[in-house]
Structure 1
């Protein structure tokens, strides 16, 4: 028998004494840990020094966390600072309540990786290619934090895998919604495996595998974003341009940029230090 619906968790926070244990934060920690573990294995498989990825990961995670929150606050500034704000300005710092923009996380996280690579004297291209699958798998895990928070779900649906959302989180009685967190999680898992396969069979040096990650992720994010009904850029409705949401336009720009990068670097020689693509 097919599922009639996908239930949402009744709570996303548990208490160990007076200490809150938040599912959203746990998903982020597990995602980061798995991504680092996989990237370290891939780095060593291609001849890299043990511990390099671990050293690079700390600034990458910190910068990525800051960047992800900045992107969210900048895009949804009206939620915290506008005349119709529904949250207090200081709540913009409450990362545990949800709200991390992947675009900002990858962009500023990339700055952290670049700085760490410069400090260690490691070429950025091979590192970027090494961590690309780990980022995809990490995103697949992190998306389950949205499930616990009952946020970023899609439009109503009658499909048998519709998601239940309670009224406290904007759901309507008897209505099911597209589980966009699940769609993106599955897409990211498939993307992670595709990147590993591409790294073994194709010439993906000098950051080209990372560019494939960007192209693959944005392609999926474009159509998944189109299903969502959360008010990105506004308070009670999403800001759109020519019928597309902000994150869809971001996906288009980054997808095009990734394709341009892949095209212009198609005849580059491999990095001399690490020739094998893991």
Structure 2
């Protein structure tokens, strides 16, 4: 059975450059990694992180992810490699396909955590930055299954059905004999295409939701995991390749359910986490000593915002000197009276003796200088008033202040 319109499968998935094989499956994986790193770098820079950090972390995450993905595939399909007719050496043939996304993400996260530790940044902040990039990498990588004609679904008679050559159709348990049920069926559900489009939608969802709801502290990554597992659950139900079943459901379907619940639980648990994240901010050219700059309200060290002059400088405002200290570090109260800025300003504004009226009235001193008869005696002893502030010849004020002090002394006695 073959419909009039369908998606043709490629005639080959490997080419040779001399003795070196160039495999389409590997090319798709590499392109996916490049796209994930590129998008991750842009999102990391938007967080205020140092350029190149995502690449450094990928140096750890990618090898760990490849090993983890292959281990998951081998362990869940161990009969192919360690069964009665299995060949253990085939477990190393990664180019033939077989990378479990669950193992790739799990062990890749371990490698990423190591990379983040070497760079001194938050693994959760890094996970949020690379989450949509990972989804795009999966969308691209699934096309490797197309080139290998593998992981397709049930038979389908539709214009979007995928043609599968007879050599790549399902086999019996011996792995050699063609399954009679599929011998004459040429087109199947293109599950690789379904998952590729689903992952593309998940990437868009994570980017939109991350901006709309300010998802931080690993919540954007958790949204990616939850979104992917929903799609993987229903796509898995279409596949007809060999798989372990538990209670009538494929192992990967159970894994999707468990991982989905874990991702949703984390999103709920971290719903109120909105504090600063350690993104290892790039040095600010205007900050002395290359101190990390602050962006988006988060300090590079992940701590609270600094106060005082330092906090003002980080916010882009000039630092103001403290009220009780001069520029040279000498406390204002310890400086000689003649050197105090407020005394100098006051002396400059005070009229000299020549400005007095012809009658020589000392009562015409400007109000800023506060004549002694207006100063409460309880607050300023007469003998402590600076000579420059008491008008000459105002002996009555001195006598009055002295009298008040005598009365006070008599009361205190």
TM-score, with length taken from structure 1 = 0.93
- 1:230-273 CA-partner distances (Å, limit 9, x unpaired): 102xxxxxx21222100000000000000110111111233344
Q: Is the 8 A contact 2:165 2:186 kept in 1?
A: no
**1:18 Cα shift?**
1.4
| Structure showing greater Rg | 2
1:194 paired to 2:199: no
**Cα distance in 2 for residues equivalent to 1:270 and 1:182:** 39
**Cα distance in 2 for residues equivalent to 1:106 and 1:271:** 26
- 1:8-27 CA-partner distances (Å, limit 9, x unpaired): 11100001111100000000
Q: Is the 8 A contact 2:29 2:140 kept in 1?
A: yes
TM-score, with length taken from structure 2 = 0.63
Helix, strand or coil: the match of 2:217? coil
Cα 1:134/1:269, change in 2 over 3 Å: same
- Alignment partner of 1:268 out of 268, 273, 277: 273
Structure-2 residue corresponding to 1:257? 262
Give matches, 1:7-156, under 5 Å: 7-85=8-86, 88-156=87-155
Helix, strand or coil: the match of 2:229? helix
RMSD of aligned Cα (Å): 1.6
- In the alignment, structure 2 segments of 5+ residues that lack a partner are 170-181, 280-294, 298-413
**1:276 Cα shift?**
4.9
**1:200 Cα shift?**
0.8
Q: Is the 8 A contact 1:195 1:209 kept in 2?
A: yes
**1:84 Cα shift?**
4.2
**1:119 Cα shift?**
1.1
Cα 1:172/1:270, change in 2 over 3 Å: farther
Structure-2 residue corresponding to 1:181? 192
**1:205 Cα shift?**
0.9
**1:174 Cα shift?**
4.3
Higher RCO (CA < 8 A, seq sep 6+): 1
Helix, strand or coil: the match of 1:11? coil
**Cα distance in 1 for residues equivalent to 2:54 and 2:265:** 28
Q: Is the 8 A contact 2:166 2:186 kept in 1?
A: no
